[in-house]
Each structure stands twice: as structure tokens, then as C-alpha cells.
């Protein structure tokens, strides 16, 4: 049997479909030279959405002065601690090599030349929130001005992906905001919302069915494991898939997954798991663990917590806010 992998698994679900449709609609109605912010917590599934959109919309075109067909939809990412040059270099890396001379004017001009030469219509950049972090080697205003210049001078549709903290760049720069379409948010599922809980459960069950169809024996109760996976992921389907990927790889010889296997995978993959109550111990986690996990994901991403649905959720949200104040 070939090694089973979940890396390329694409599962349609409510949050995924909504984000995908919103971006496709924004692209369809966008005029040339606009930004589409696409923000959400880490490992929520943004990259999967972008990959699907790129496959759906990308076309090979022959631009002016360029004889080889090339895609009109390109994607890349911004490096950590970016400077002024990196903003343009990140676009340039999606379509060509960086020259030996990394000076800003040369990199910027080369980027504009290649975008025009290859008739690129859409550029997607991940990790844009690096520009809003304290370690960035440029100001938030400067970063916003660079993104504004790119869409103004090239006419491309610029999809900007990252953590919600990137919203600061938009809010603090009126001209950048004027060139940005409405921000599309991809948020985790919320356990206390019945629709969210049902959708999350449906997604997890579909993954379990996929594993069983490929010969993996699941030696646990599905309802119990769904609760545990929510607690481990904070409602992020992307994180669930990554956790199951580790578990499947470690159980390749036995072709079976038990509660203990999931615990071992979580100890390898999840950062800060010990800060919550035990999730994969024999005794199942209580509801407050699920609520605190969701609140932590939302708080760490810089997203506003919704109004609590119960006193238990209120306590979980308060703990998340107190944690933010003490860090």
C-alpha cells in the first residue's frame, strides 16, 4: 500500500466555501489595480482556499514581448522582517529571479517589467502580516504605500493573505483602504454555535470516512474524537488535517488509529498543548477546554471574540483576554 497522505486533501465545508466564493466574486467584479485582503488565523485553511481559486481561475497567456505561455495568476509570500525592497521582491519571485543587485529601484522596475511582459492579472501574497509585526524593517505606512504603488502602476489584482493584524495597515492608510475591497475573513468554527458545531462535525466525519475508505482502522468513538479535535484545533479544519496527517504517518505500519496515537501526534505537532487541560488522555476534555481553545485561537490571531452564549463561554473569553494582558 502506498503511503497515505492528507496534504493534498481538499474538503469542502461552510467556512471554506464562503471564503472561496467571496474571493472569486471579488475578482470577478474587481477593476484593474485593487487589493483583496484575505485574513484569518494560522492553519485555518487560507492556503487551501487560495490553491483552489488559483486552479479554478488561472489561465496561461502570452504577454507582450514574451513568446512562452505563462500563468496569469501567480502566488508567493513575503519573508519575515521585510524591508522596502522585499515587498517588490516577493512579487518578482513569483514570476522570475531576483537579480544579483537587490537595490530597490532595480527590483521594483524589474517587477513592473515582468508583470507587463507576462500579462499577469492576479498576484497573491501570503504572510503579508509580517509587514505589521514589530520586527519589520519598514513602517506600516511604508508597506501600505508599496502595496498601493504596485496596484496603481501594474493594474494587477493583489490578493493579500495573512493574520488579521494586517488589517492595521489598511485602517491606518486612507489611500490604501480606498484601493482595497472589503476584507474577507476566514474564521474558525465556534463550538457553542449549533450550526458551526454541526458543520465542524460533518467535516471531521468526512475525513474519518476518507481514512476508513483507504484502509485505516479508526479505533475510537467518532463523537468523542471530534470533541477532542476541536479542543486541539480551536475549530480550525486546517489544523485538524495537519494533526491527522502526523498521526497517519506514525501509524503507517499498523494501519490503525487509536486515542493513544492521536495523543502522540498532538505532542509532536501542537505547540503549547500543555497549557490546556489534557485533551487526549483517557478522560475526555470538558466543555470549558473546547471554549478556551477557540478563544485562544481568536485572541492570538487578533480577532474580536463574539458575544458569549453562556456563563461558561464568558469565563473562557475572560481568561483569553486576561492572557492577552499578561503577555
**Final residue belonging to a domain, choices 185, 212, 240:** 185
Shared domain for 57 and 88, answered yes or no, is yes
Could you please report the per-residue DSSP string of 194-247? HHHHHHHHHHHHHHHHHHHHTT-EEES-HHHHHHHHHHHHTS-HHHHHHHHHHH
The pLDDT of residue 326 = 38
- 9 within domain boundaries: no
Which residue's entry shows cell 501574497?
Answer: 125
**Domain identity same for 289 and 149:** no
Verify that 169 and 230 share a domain, yes or no.
no
d(CA 113, CA 110): 5
Residue 8, in any domain of the structure:
no
pLDDT for 327:
39
The CATH number assigned to the domain holding 132 equals 3.40.50.300
Q: Say which residue, 96 or 77, is predicted with more confidence.
A: 77
- 129 — pLDDT class (breaks 50, 70, 90): very high
Tell whether 69 and 163 lie within a shared domain: yes
Q: What is the pLDDT of residues 236-290, one digit of tens each?
A: 999 999 999 999 988 888 899 999 999 999 988 887 655 666 899 999 999 999 9
The count of other CB atoms within 10 Å of the CB of residue 146 is: 21
Model pLDDT for residues 286-299, shown as the tens digit of each residue: 999 999 999 999 99
- Residues 158-172 have a mean pLDDT of 95
Q: Which of 162, 185, 208 is the last residue of a domain?
A: 185
Do residue 112 and residue 213 come from a single domain? no
Please indicate, yes or no, whether residues 31 and 180 belong to a single structural domain of this protein: yes
Whether residue 104 is found in the same domain as residue 125: yes
Helix (H, G, I), strand (E, B) or coil at 186: coil
Q: Identify the residue with better confidence: 154 or 250.
A: 154
Given this model, what pLDDT does residue 40 score?
A: 96
pLDDT value at 199 more than 70 = yes
Host domain of residue 35: 14-185
Residue with cell 501567480: 74
* Domain-terminating residue out of 154, 185, 216: 185
Q: How far apart are CA 254 and CA 134, in angstroms?
A: 46
* pLDDT of the residue at 323: 56
The predicted pLDDT at position 98 comes to 72
Within a domain: 3: no
Give the range among 1-5, 113-117, 277-281 with minimum mean pLDDT. Answer: 1-5
- Is 252 in contact with 265 (CB distance < 8 Å)? no
Per-residue pLDDT at 68:
84
Tell me, yes or no, whether 4 lies in a domain. Answer: no
Count structural domains, the chain.
Answer: 2
Amino acid at each position: 500500500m502506498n503511503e497515505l497522505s492528507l496534504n493534498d486533501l481538499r474538503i469542502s465545508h461552510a467556512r471554506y466555501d464562503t471564503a472561496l466564493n467571496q474571493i472569486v466574486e471579488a475578482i470577478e467584479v474587481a477593476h484593474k489595480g485593487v487589493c483583496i485582503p484575505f485574513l484569518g488565523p494560522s492553519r485555518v485553511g487560507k492556503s487551501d482556499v487560495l490553491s483552489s481559486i488559483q486552479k479554478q481561475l488561472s489561465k496561461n497567456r502570452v504577454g507582450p514581448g514574451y513568446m512562452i505561455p505563462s500563468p496569469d495568476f501567480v502566488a508567493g509570500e513575503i519573508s519575515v522582517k521585510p524591508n522596502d525592497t522585499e515587498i517588490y521582491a516577493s512579487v518578482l519571485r513569483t514570476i522570475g529571479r531576483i537579480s544579483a543587485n537587490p537595490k530597490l529601484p532595480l527590483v521594483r522596475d524589474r517587477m513592473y517589467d515582468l508583470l507587463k511582459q507576462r500579462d499577469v492579472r492576479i498576484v497573491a501574497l501570503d504572510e503579508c502580516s509580517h509587514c505589521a509585526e514589530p520586527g519589520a524593517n519598514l513602517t506600516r505606512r511604508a508597506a501600505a504605500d508599496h502595496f498601493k504603488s504596485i496596484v496603481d502602476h501594474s493594474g494587477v489584482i493583489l490578493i493579500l493573505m495573512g493574520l488579521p493584524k494586517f488589517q492595521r495597515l489598511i485602517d491606518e492608510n486612507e489611500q490604501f483602504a480606498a484601493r482595497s475591497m472589503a476584507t474577507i475573513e476566514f474564521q474558525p468554527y465556534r463550538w457553542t454555535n449549533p450550526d458551526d458545531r454541526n458543520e465542524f462535525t460533518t467535516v471531521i466525519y468526512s475525513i474519518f470516512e476518507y481514512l476508513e475508505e483507504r484502509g485505516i482502522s479508526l479505533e475510537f468513538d467518532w463523537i468523542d474524537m471530534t470533541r477532542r479535535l476541536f479542543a486541539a484545533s480551536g475549530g480550525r479544519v486546517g489544523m485538524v488535517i495537519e494533526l491527522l496527517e502526523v498521526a497517519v504517518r506514525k501509524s503507517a505500519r499498523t494501519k490503525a488509529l487509536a486515542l493513544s496515537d492521536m495523543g502522540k501526534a498532538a505532542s509532536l505537532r501542537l505547540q503549547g498543548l500543555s497549557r490546556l487541560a489534557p485533551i487526549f488522555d483517557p478522560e475526555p476534555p470538558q466543555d470549558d477546554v473546547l471554549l478556551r481553545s477557540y478563544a485562544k485561537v481568536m485572541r492570538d490571531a487578533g480577532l474580536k471574540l463574539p458575544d458569549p452564549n453562556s456563563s461558561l463561554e464568558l469565563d473562557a473569553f475572560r481568561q483569553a483576554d486576561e492572557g492577552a494582558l499578561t503577555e
